[in-house]
Structure 1
Amino acid sequence: MWRIILVLLALSVGPAAAASGPRAQIGEFAWLAGRWSGTGLGGETEEWIMPAVDGQMVGMFRASRAGKLSFTEQFVFAEADGTVELRVRHFNADFTSWEDKAEMVRFPLVSSGTNRAQFSAVTYERDGDRLRAIVRETDKKGVPVELTLDWVLVK
């Protein structure tokens, strides 16, 4: 079920044009950096986000269940046209891509504040050593679906 939701999310957002969100710079998102670990999607999940270099924060997401890799994401928070957008590519356990070779899923920034960033379909919120990602989607029947992932900072 979780995989269907994520595939629908990727397809519904699709490749987007250049970012057109509120003014922002990558330095405002430094609070996201770290190695985050938790549960979700029926198993274990991890999110690794590196500090910014050249206007980009590169990251990786991993989902596993019962010791078996389910899928991964490679992503980047990147400055674009005076704002920041989240760009994502998804991969199966064998590293085959969900998206076509030149495509990626783009989430424009909607709003941001202290320890909070809302992109078009994903919101990140940090509280101390805890990070939450809320993914919003509609299923095939048009019913809103919200997926919440909670992580703890690994030190």
Structure 2
Amino acid sequence: MKWTLILLLTAYLPSFGQNTISYTDGNTSPNATLADVSWIAGHWKGEAFGGITEEIWSPPLGDSMMFVFKLVVDDKVALYEVGHIRQEEESLILRLKHFNGNLTGWEEKDKTVDFKLVKIEGNKVYFDDFTFEKINDSEINIYVVLEQKNGSKEEVAFNYKK
């Protein structure tokens, strides 16, 4: 009994206080439409990684919402991301690709980084280790789990204003 309780606590401690949820293999994504996440659309700006961050999200059109992300450090583009939230069957998926400031890609030509929908609850949309939170009509938070060079994982928060 004691070991079972310790194992249960250990399993839940890493997610305590976090804003992201991991997708578990074997589960299915819940039913959702782009209308459920349309509030993400807009031109958002914030600060992270020692620079200025910018995300531009289109309104739903053609079964998707496209976006571009830019990180500018010391007046130079350090990183771009291009992607979309796409309606697939009865649910949503977030897909993206990374690019250096000179537009050379990180991922293989036909590969994307995919985040399956875990759940939508109130003002939050949970994709696999990637969460959008609506604060109000002119402010959102985005939480992303990033893997560090040493293999550890860290949740990073981005605060954006329109």
SS state at 2:60 partner: coil
Q: Deviations over 1:62-91 (max 9, x none)?
A: 001111000100010001131101000011
**1:53 and 2:72 are equivalent in the alignment:** no
1:28 match: 36
Distance in 1 between the 2:155 and 2:51 partners?
Answer: 17
Unpaired segments of 5 or more residues in structure 1? 1-18
Confirm or deny: 8 A CA contact 1:138 1:145 kept in the other structure.
yes
Aligned Cα RMSD in Å?
A: 1.5
**Equivalent of residue 134 in structure 1, options 143, 146, 155:** 143
Instruction: Give 1:141 deviation, angstroms.
Output: 4.3
2:155 match: 146
Structure 1 segments, 4+ long, off by >6 Å, are: none
**1:96 and 2:107 are equivalent in the alignment:** no
The sequence identity of aligned pairs, in percent, is 28
- Give TM-score, length-normalised by structure 1: 0.82
Larger Cα-atom Rg: 2
One-letter amino acid matched to 2:127: F
Count, aligned residues: 135
Distance in 2 between the 1:88 and 1:20 partners?
Answer: 20
Instruction: Give 1:115 deviation, angstroms.
Output: 2.8
Distance in 1 between the 2:150 and 2:106 partners?
Answer: 22
**1:125 and 2:139 are equivalent in the alignment:** no
Distance in 2 between the 1:134 and 1:37 partners?
Answer: 15
2:80 match: 72
Distance in 2 between the 1:48 and 1:115 partners?
Answer: 19
Unpaired segments of 5 or more residues in structure 2? 1-26
Instruction: Give 1:140 deviation, angstroms.
Output: 4.7
Distance in 2 between the 1:57 and 1:102 partners?
Answer: 20
Distance in 1 between the 2:146 and 2:101 partners?
Answer: 23
SS state at 2:69 partner: strand
- Give TM-score, length-normalised by structure 2: 0.78
Confirm or deny: 8 A CA contact 1:57 1:76 kept in the other structure.
yes
Distance in 2 between the 1:140 and 1:65 partners?
Answer: 20
